[in-house]
Amino acid sequence: MASLFRSAEMTLCQLFLQSEAAYACVSELGELGLVQFRDLNPDVNVFQRKFVNEVRRCDEMERKLRYLEKEIKKDGIPMLDTGENPEAPQPREMIDLEATFEKLENELREVNQNAEALKRNFLELTELKQILRKTQVFFDEMADPSREEEQVTLLGEEGLRAGGQALKLGFVAGVILRERIPAFERMLWRACRGNVFLRQAEIETPLEDPSTGDQVYKSVFIIFFQGDQLKTRVKKICEGFRATLYPCPEAPGDRREMAMGVMTRIEDLNTVLGQTQDHRHRVLVAAAKNIKNWFVKVRKIKAIYHTLNLFNLDVTQKCLIAECWVPVLDFENIQLALRRGTERSGSSVPPILNRMETLEDPPTYNHTNKFTSGFQTLIDAYGIASYREMNPAPYTIITFPFLFAVMFGDLGHGSLMAIFGAWMVLKEKPLAAKKSDNEIWNIFFGGRYIVLLMGLFSMYTGLIYNDVFSKSLNIFGSNWHTNYSATFVLSVQDKMIDPADNGGYDGYPYPIGMDPVWQLAKNKIIFQNSFKMKISIILGIIHMLFGVSMSLFNYTYFKNKLSIICEFVPQVIFLVFLFFYMVLLMFIKWFMYYPTNVESEIKYSPRCAPSILITFINMVLNKETIVDPECDANMYAGQIPIQKLLFACAVICVPWMLLAKPLYIMRSRRKMNYSVSHQQMQAATGNGDAEQPIHNNTAQPIVGHGGGHDEEEDLGEMFIHQGIHTIEYVLGSVSHTASYLRLWALSLAHAQLSEVLWGMVLNKGLVVDGWLGGIVLYVIFAFWACLTVSILVLMEGLSAFLHTLRLHWVEFQSKFYAGQGYAFLPFSFENLLDSASQTAEE
């Protein structure tokens, strides 16, 4: 059971593995995941280690697999993820794997190359086809007799004459990217001084760029010009703009023939392309079935060799030596795993696992399950517990949702949160299998049990506060009634409800939580503030006392008697005598004073009830409380002397905390020093040699002096350290107590905000008269629901969560938690594969 409250006991072990058995043994340990290996050659370069070659081969295999995976994803083939976990293959299987991957990769590369070449060919042909089709229009236009007229007017006499002699217009036709057209046109115009004639037509369907695979839009163009010089110029410009030019016969008959030829070639190419695609698809589908499996295998091999690289080689080269941290309780399991590994490798010599003594701090290893891991994460985010320190996580399971709920108390909002949490918990397995890479979702899902508990606890506090979306539930019937006459009711705007008021209050409280009448009372906030403030201080002091008592368990476990006497006891006294006394005063006030207007009981009426805060301040400042003459300044007999005594005790605790421990240590050291030097003196004199004592005496002061100097510095440090601790604790008690008031403040803010949201939004839908109201309500409700979720549940929930986190990290854990350990990171395939797949997804 001890492991629940503390981290597991760890031990450093030395492990001797026979070279042949090492691989299988490490593989078994990786499946087990309970061993953290230490690097025994930290000064050796990564490239100089023994199994560099194997690691490199694994890297190469992984690269090939990633390539395959990329291709599979490109084709949108679903990868079969059976979730099975193949064992790490034998080293000799590595060659087979390598051969398989090599073959696959080559095949795929070849197919891809072929496909690219074919596609390029196909693109050219399609472009040519488009040119032939589009230019036909241009040529038709040219041949159009109705255009003759136009030409005449445009070209004038000379032109016509030239045209009449079949005006030797040359032309080039080609295809260009559509976005380049405007620049191209302008360039042509400028370079040829307007002596060329450009026609262009867009190709409607996008064409696939064979090298990148992108869909690009292109246009067909045809340029008419006269003369060779212009022709070279035009061609150069086309080249510059990366336009592809295609030969285009002048005669319509030739063109038609060519078009026919192109069409048949496209047909042929299409079949070939289809076959290539089919082949590629077949290869990829076959690979997709196994790829996850392969990934797991390769990563496991790599991890094993990586671990083997951490080991030391024995002088005989026959055996590998490893050092590892091992949880003591799992010693048996590890030995079993090692035996399995040996059997599998067929080695005859069993591996040897023996414990080592060490002064090093072992890593912190907290056993968690899916329920506690969320809470443990919250604690670890502050700092990993020191080795074998009290782990606050088990208590956090209750205190965290509870303090959260005090701030988030609303039955409606709480049930929304609880439903969300319950859904995540119930659908745990399918949701976990989805492995979403949405960070926010992962945070919520990781903390699903926290969310569920926070929701349930909020429902409870909501019931106590009697708040459902800021409205109260009248389950048991209010214990208040009115006995005012109609005229009186008409004459006042609103009235505060007062239990002392004759007849308003039935005299016994509502069975659970607040009476629903408070929702409509004018003095609701005044009443609730006083209640919630007191509750938060009471909860805070109990929480802090719990934290301090936790330190007792730490001290007893580490056998630190001195700290119990010099730190724990004065700390408890200080906190109890001052602050817990204040809590007691609150209860005394609640029990002793009651609402009454009777003159004889005036001493116990609200008018005479002393303010706890003033009483407390006066106790510390040692002042008299000034009260009305008819009231009693004291709540109970002998209050003043008792308070003085308590305060004096608390004050004495401060120097006790500050000085006792360092002084005691100083004295005990001096005593030890004295006894040591005394013994030496005795030994020297007893020796009788004349030289020896002198030698001893000359040597001794130097050492003694050096040691003394160190000690002085040490002591100074100790005093400062203790001083800081004391100041932190004493001031902390005050400021932390005040800090717990955030419970009240946030709860008030939450209640007010939800009331405002109801009043400003949903109310607008409810006050509409007539049947139209239903439709208005329908719309407004949706709006109100969205705001409720986003502002009140998400934002307010987040802020309450953060404040709760702070209360735990600072106010609670500062009392006992050092958090200076480091986490136990076992060599485990499971963790490795998880992190590998996550990085791959990113």
Partner 1 sequence: MPVCGPKLSLCGLILSVWGIIQLALMGIFYYVHAVALAEDLPEARHPHDPDSLKDFYTDIDRGYTQNAFNCWIAALLYVVTLALSAHQFWANNRSSLSV
Chain contacts with partner 1 (rule: CB under 8 A):
471-474, 486-487, 490, 516, 519-520, 759, 762-763, 766-771, 773-775, 777-778, 781-782, 785-786
Q: How far is the CB of 762 from partner 1 (least distance, A)?
A: 7
Amino acid, single-letter form, for residue 461: T
Q: How far is the CB of 760 from partner 1 (least distance, A)?
A: 12
Nearer to partner 1, 189 or 476 (CB): 476
Task: Determine how many CB atoms are found less than 10 A away from the CB of residue 705.
Answer: 10
Nearer to partner 1, 479 or 519 (CB): 519
**549-566 burial by CB neighbour count: b if 16+ within 10 A, else e?**
ebbbebbeeeeeeebeeb
Overall residue count recorded for the chain in this entry: 842
What is the SS3 assignment for 215?
Answer: strand
DSSP element (H, E) containing 321 = strand 319-327
Q: How far is the CB of 782 from partner 1 (least distance, A)?
A: 6
Nearer to partner 1, 217 or 778 (CB): 778
Q: How far is the CB of 568 from partner 1 (least distance, A)?
A: 50
C-alpha angle 454/760/795, rounded to 5°? 30
Q: How far is the CB of 208 from partner 1 (least distance, A)?
A: 22
CA distance linking residue 105 with residue 283, whole number of Å: 10
Q: In angstroms, what CA-CA distances link 519 with 283, 481, 515, 751?
A: 71, 14, 8, 11
Q: How far is the CB of 21 from partner 1 (least distance, A)?
A: 50
CA distance linking residue 721 with residue 662, whole number of Å: 10
Nearer to partner 1, 514 or 650 (CB): 514
Task: Determine how many CB atoms are found less than 10 A away from the CB of residue 464.
Answer: 15
Nearer to partner 1, 425 or 649 (CB): 425
Q: Which residues contact 1 (CB under 8 A, 6 or more apart)?
A: none
Nearer to partner 1, 351 or 797 (CB): 797
Q: Nearest to residue 582, comparing CAs of 733, 806, 402?
A: 733
Nearer to partner 1, 647 or 781 (CB): 781
Nearer to partner 1, 620 or 782 (CB): 782
CA distance linking residue 125 with residue 369, whole number of Å: 64
Q: How far is the CB of 423 from partner 1 (least distance, A)?
A: 10
Q: How far is the CB of 755 from partner 1 (least distance, A)?
A: 10
Q: How far is the CB of 787 from partner 1 (least distance, A)?
A: 12
Q: Are 803 and 746 in contact (CB under 8 A)?
A: yes
CA distance linking residue 300 with residue 836, whole number of Å: 11
Q: How far is the CB of 771 from partner 1 (least distance, A)?
A: 7
Nearer to partner 1, 106 or 474 (CB): 474
Q: Give the count of alpha carbons within 13 A of 229, CB side only.
A: 4
Q: Which residues contact 183 (CB under 8 A, 6 or more apart)?
A: 241
Q: In angstroms, what CA-CA distances link 815 with 100, 161, 208, 387, 572?
A: 60, 108, 68, 17, 11
CA distance linking residue 553 with residue 564, whole number of Å: 10
Q: How far is the CB of 69 from partner 1 (least distance, A)?
A: 21
Q: How far is the CB of 800 from partner 1 (least distance, A)?
A: 22
Nearer to partner 1, 766 or 802 (CB): 766
CA distance linking residue 191 with residue 239, whole number of Å: 14
Nearer to partner 1, 228 or 769 (CB): 769
Q: In angstroms, what CA-CA distances link 749 with 414, 458, 468, 739, 745?
A: 16, 15, 15, 16, 6
Q: How far is the CB of 277 from partner 1 (least distance, A)?
A: 19
Tokens encoding 489: 């009711």
Q: What is the DSSP string of 452-474?
A: HHHHHHHHHHHHHHT-BTTBPP-
Helix residue spans in 558-594 (DSSP H): 561-563, 569-574, 581-592
Nearer to partner 1, 154 or 785 (CB): 785
Q: Nearest to residue 617, comparing CAs of 595, 585, 593, 649?
A: 585
Q: Which residues contact 405 (CB under 8 A, 6 or more apart)?
A: 414, 454, 457, 458, 460, 461
Nearer to partner 1, 701 or 759 (CB): 759
Q: What is the DSSP string of 795-832?
A: IHHHHHHHHHHHIIIIIIGGGT------B-----HHHH
Q: How far is the CB of 475 from partner 1 (least distance, A)?
A: 11
Q: Are 737 and 537 in contact (CB under 8 A)?
A: yes
The 8 Å CB, 24+ separation contacts for 705-708 are 707/673, 708/673
Q: How far is the CB of 774 from partner 1 (least distance, A)?
A: 3
Nearer to partner 1, 473 or 542 (CB): 473
